[in-house]
Amino acid sequence: MSVLVLAEAHDGHLLTDLLARTLSAVAPLGDADVLVTGGNSAGAAEEAAKLAGVSKVLLADDPSFAHGLAEPLAALIRSLAGDYTHIAAGATAFSRNALPRAAMLLEAMVLSDVTAIKDAETFERPVYAGNAIQTVRSADPIKIFTVRTAGFSPVGAGGPAPVTSISVPPDPGLSEWVEDRTITSERPDLTSAKIVVSGGRGLGSAENFHQITALADKLDAAVGASRAAVDAGYAPNDWQVGQTGKIVAPDLYIAVGISGAIQHLAGMKDSRIIVAINKDEDAPIFQVADYGLVGDLFRILPELTEKI
Amino acid sequence: MKILVPVKRVVDYNVRVRVRPDGSGVDLNHVKMSMNPFDEIALEEAVRLREKGIATEIVAVSIGVPQAKDTLRTALAMGADRAILVKSGDDVSQDLEPLSVARILAKVVATEKPELVIAGKQAIDNDMNATGQMLAALLGWGQGTFASAVRIDEGSALVTREIDGGLQTIRLKLPAVVTTDLRLNEPRYVALPAIMKAKKKPLEELALADLGVDTRPHLTVVSATEPRQRQAGVKIQSVDELLSKLKNEAGVI
Ligand SMILES: Cc1cc2nc3c(=O)[nH]c(=O)nc-3n(C[C@H](O)[C@H](O)[C@H](O)COP(=O)(O)OP(=O)(O)OC[C@H]3O[C@@H](n4cnc5c(N)ncnc54)[C@H](O)[C@@H]3O)c2cc1C
Ligand SMILES: Nc1ncnc2c1ncn2[C@@H]1O[C@H](COP(=O)(O)O)[C@@H](O)[C@H]1O
C-alpha cells in the first residue's frame, strides 16, 4: 500500500492541524507521502515533514498552485498517481474542488467525506444529511477520497521526513485567478476548536450577531452560524455549519437562536456536549441538546457572557 | 449562448429518511421527491442569464427513473426551454455514481454543444459533491465550483466562489462548468400559468443503453446503518445552573 495525502497551504502557511488529522485518519493504511503545493511553499513543506506518519514530502512550488485552482492541481495529482494506491485529503473547499477532477482524470470514483477507513478497500461515509451511514467498497485501483477530519485527533511530531521538489506538468490554462476576499481571523478554527458558539436567524441582525462573537471570545471558541444567519448576512459563508457547510465535533457546541433543521444537525450532532438556547421549547434542537435553556436569547446571552 | 442544466430528482429536503431494517439502503417508498435544491438555484441562474440577454436557450437534463420527468416538468415551469430525460432504469433505489452521470452528461454535451453547464454543487441524497468537477475534467473544460456570483463577459465567465476564509473570484474560459452554492440566488416561485405552459414544452427521452456509456459501478454499498442517536438531555432553568452543569457535570468549561 502507498498513500499520498494532499496538504493545504495558503500564502505559504501550512494548515497543519488539518494535515495532522488527515494523517491520523489514514494511519491504518500505513505511512504516507505528503504533497505540498503552492506559490511559495518551501516553509510549509518543512513544517509538514515534522509530522508523525510522513515518509516523505513532495513539494510542488509553482505559481500555478498559488490559489488552489482545480485544473493545474488535478493535472499534478494525475501525474503522481501511478505511485499510489490511495490519495486522500481533508475535506475542505480546496480538496472538494480538485480531488473529484483528479479522480475523473484517473477514471476513478471519488469518495467524499469519509468518516472511517474499514480496510484498504472499504470506507464509511454519511449520506442523506447524516441520516444514514454507508459502508462502501471501492473497486478502483487508486482510491481517492476526502476525509471528515473533525472526528480524528491530530498526529504528533515525528521525522523530520525528507522533502523533495518535484517537477510540475504544464498549467492547462483553463482558469485564471482574479482575487480573494478572505479574512484571516485570530479565532480558533471552526473544524478543530474545542468549543463552538453558533448563532441563527434568532439573532435578528448582523449587529446582534456580535453577541455571539462576544461569548465566543470569552470562551476562546470558534464561531459558527446556521444557513439562515449566513443568507441574511449576519455571518460570513464559511461559518455555516451543516450538511452543506462545515462539519464540527467540538467538546462543547452552543446553538443560540437556531431551530435545529436536519441540515444543521448534520453538521454538529457529533459534538460531545450540546447546549441549546431558544425561546421555543418545541424547537427540534432540544431533541439533540444535552442542556436546553428555554428563553429569550437577548436576556440570556449577556448574562452568560458576563458570568463566564 | 446555450446553457445546459443537469437536474436530479432527490428526496425532498424536508424528509427525514429511514434506513431499511435489512441494512440494504434507505427506504424511498412513499417518500416525497423534489428537484435537488442546488439545481433549482442552477436553473434560476440560467433563467436570469437569459433575462439579461446572455443565454439564448436553456436545456434541462435529468438522468434517472421515468418519474424524473416530473422534475423536468418543474424545470420547464421554472423557465427551461427544453428538457431531456436519460432513462437509466426503473428501480428508484438505484443511484448512478457521479462518475457515470458525468460520462452521460458529456455525451449530452457532445450533441447539445452548450457553452456553459450550470450544475448543483451537491446532490442532497448522496452528498457526493463531485459530478460538476468530473464533467469538467472529462470535457477538458475549466470549472467554477461553489459559485455565489456568475458574470459572463467577453467570452469568459467570472465566477465568485465560496471558499474557506471567504470568497474567491476566478475567470474561466468558455465553455465551462459552474456549480452553484446556496447564496447564488433565490429561486423564484413558480406560478400556475408557468406550470400549464410547461406541459407544452418539448421533453425528449433517451434510453441510457443507446448512449453507449460505461456505467458499471466502481463503488458497492456493503451496508447502510442508522447513525448513533442522541438522547434529548435536560432543560435548565437559569444561566447559573447551566454554568454549574458545564463546569461540574460535563467538565467542558
Ligand atoms: C439544500 C439545503 C442545504 C442546507 N444546508 C444547510 C446547512 O449546511 N446548515 C444550516 O444551518 N442550514 C442549512 N439549510 C437550511 C435549513 O433547512 C434551515 O432553514 C436553517 O438551518 C434554519 O436556520 P435557523 O435555525 O437559524 O433559522 P430558523 O429555523 O428560522 O430558526 C430560528 C430560531 O430562533 C429562535 N428564536 C428567535 N428569536 C429568539 C429569541 N429572541 N430568543 C431565543 N430564540 C429565538 C426561534 O424559536 C427559532 O427556533 C439547508 C437547506 C437546504 C434546502
Ligand atoms: N442523476 C442526475 N441527473 C441529473 N443531474 C445530476 C444527476 N446526478 C447529479 N447531477 C448533477 O450534479 C450535481 C452534483 O451531484 P453530486 O455530485 O451527486 O453531489 C447535482 O446538483 C446535479 O446538478
Contact B233 A291 (CB under 8 A): yes
Q: Which residue ranges have their beta carbon within 6 Å of ligand 2?
A: B 6-8, 36, 38-39, 62-64, 96, 98, 101, 119-120, 122-123, 126, 128-132
Q: For chain A, where are the E strands, in sequence order? A: 3-6, 9-10, 13-14, 32-38, 54-61, 86-90, 110-114, 116-117, 122-127, 132-138, 143-147, 163-165, 175-182, 195-199, 222-225, 252-256, 273-278, 291-294
CB A243 within 8 Å of CB A129: yes
- How close A58 gets to chain B, by Cα (Å)? 24
Cβ–ligand 1 distance for A245 under 6 Å, the answer yes
B243 located within any domain: no
Nearest in space to B162 (alpha carbons), one of A12, A242, A74, A244: A244
In the block, cell 425561546 appears at A279
- How close A3 gets to chain B, by Cα (Å)? 19
Q: Is B138 on the interface with A (CB under 8 A)?
A: yes
Q: Which residues pair with B177 in a beta bridge?
A: B117, B143
Q: Residue A185: pLDDT band by 50, 70, 90 thresholds?
A: confident
| Predicted confidence (pLDDT) at residue B66 exceeds the cutoff of 90 | yes
Domain interval for residue B119: 2-226
| Predicted confidence (pLDDT) at residue B154 exceeds the cutoff of 90 | no
What lies within 8 Å, CB to CB, of B251 at 6+ separation is none
Q: What is the pLDDT of residue A44?
A: 98
Q: What is the mean pLDDT of residues A2-17?
A: 97
Q: What is the pLDDT of residue A241?
A: 98
**Distance from C-alpha of A119 to C-alpha of A122, rounded to nearest angstrom:** 5
Q: How far is CA B66 from CA B17, B29, B198, B221, in A?
A: 22, 15, 17, 23
Task: Compute the mean pLDDT over every residue in chain B, rounded to the nearest whole number.
Answer: 96
The predicted-structure confidence for A206-265, as pLDDT tens digits, reads as follows: 999 999 999 999 999 999 999 999 999 999 999 999 999 999 999 999 999 999 999 999
Q: What is the pLDDT of residue A264?
A: 98
CB A104 within 8 Å of CB B97: no
The predicted-structure confidence for B207-227, as pLDDT tens digits, reads as follows: 999 999 999 999 999 999 999
Cβ–ligand 1 distance for A21 under 6 Å, the answer no
**Distance from C-alpha of B102 to C-alpha of B109, rounded to nearest angstrom:** 10
The whole-angstrom distance between residue B110's C-alpha and the CA centroid of its chain comes to 21
Q: Is B124 on the interface with A (CB under 8 A)?
A: yes
> Least CB-CB distance to B218: which of A122, A139, A173?
A139
Contact B225 A132 (CB under 8 A): yes
Q: What is the pLDDT of residue A87?
A: 98
Q: How far is CA B48 from CA A12, B35, B40, B114, B184, in A?
A: 39, 19, 12, 17, 11
Coil, strand, or helix at residue B124?
coil
Q: Is B227 on the interface with A (CB under 8 A)?
A: yes
Our count of domains for chain B comes to: 1
Contact A135 B124 (CB under 8 A): no
Residues from chain A contacting residue B182 (CB–CB below 8 Å): 227, 230-231, 244
Q: What is the pLDDT of residue B29?
A: 86
Contact B127 A126 (CB under 8 A): yes
Q: What is the pLDDT of residue B188?
A: 93
B245 located within any domain: no
B233 located within any domain: no
Nearest in space to B150 (alpha carbons), one of B47, B27, B246: B47
CATH of the domain at B16: 3.40.50.620
**Distance from C-alpha of A9 to C-alpha of B192, rounded to nearest angstrom:** 51
Amino acid symbol at A222: A
Contact B172 A174 (CB under 8 A): yes
The predicted-structure confidence for A25-73, as pLDDT tens digits, reads as follows: 999 999 999 999 999 999 999 999 999 999 999 999 999 999 999 999 9
Q: Give, for B170, the enclosing helix (H) or strand (E).
A: strand B166-173
Q: What is the pLDDT of residue A184?
A: 84
Cβ–ligand 1 distance for A227 under 6 Å, the answer yes
What residue's CA is closest to ligand 1, atom 22? A228
The predicted-structure confidence for B114-129, as pLDDT tens digits, reads as follows: 999 999 999 999 999 9
Amino acid symbol at A39: G
**Distance from C-alpha of B92 to C-alpha of B113, rounded to nearest angstrom:** 30
Q: Residue A281: pLDDT band by 50, 70, 90 thresholds?
A: very high
Percent of chain A with pLDDT over 70: 100
- As given in the structure block, the three cell numbers for residue B54 are 446572455
Looking at the CA of residue B124, tell me the nearest atom of ligand 1. Answer: 1
Contact A287 B233 (CB under 8 A): no
Q: Is B192 on the interface with A (CB under 8 A)?
A: no
Q: What is the pLDDT of residue B92?
A: 87
Task: Compute the mean pLDDT over every residue in chain A, rounded to the nearest whole number.
Answer: 97
- How close A99 gets to chain B, by Cα (Å)? 8
| Predicted confidence (pLDDT) at residue A191 exceeds the cutoff of 90 | yes
DSSP 8-state class, residue B160: E
Q: What is the pLDDT of residue B94?
A: 87
Contact A237 B136 (CB under 8 A): no
B240 located within any domain: no
Residue A94 Cα to ligand 2 midpoint, Å, equals 20
- Alpha-helical regions (H) of B140-222: 192-198, 208-211
Residue A74 Cα to ligand 1 midpoint, Å, equals 36
B100 located within any domain: yes
| Predicted confidence (pLDDT) at residue B61 exceeds the cutoff of 90 | yes
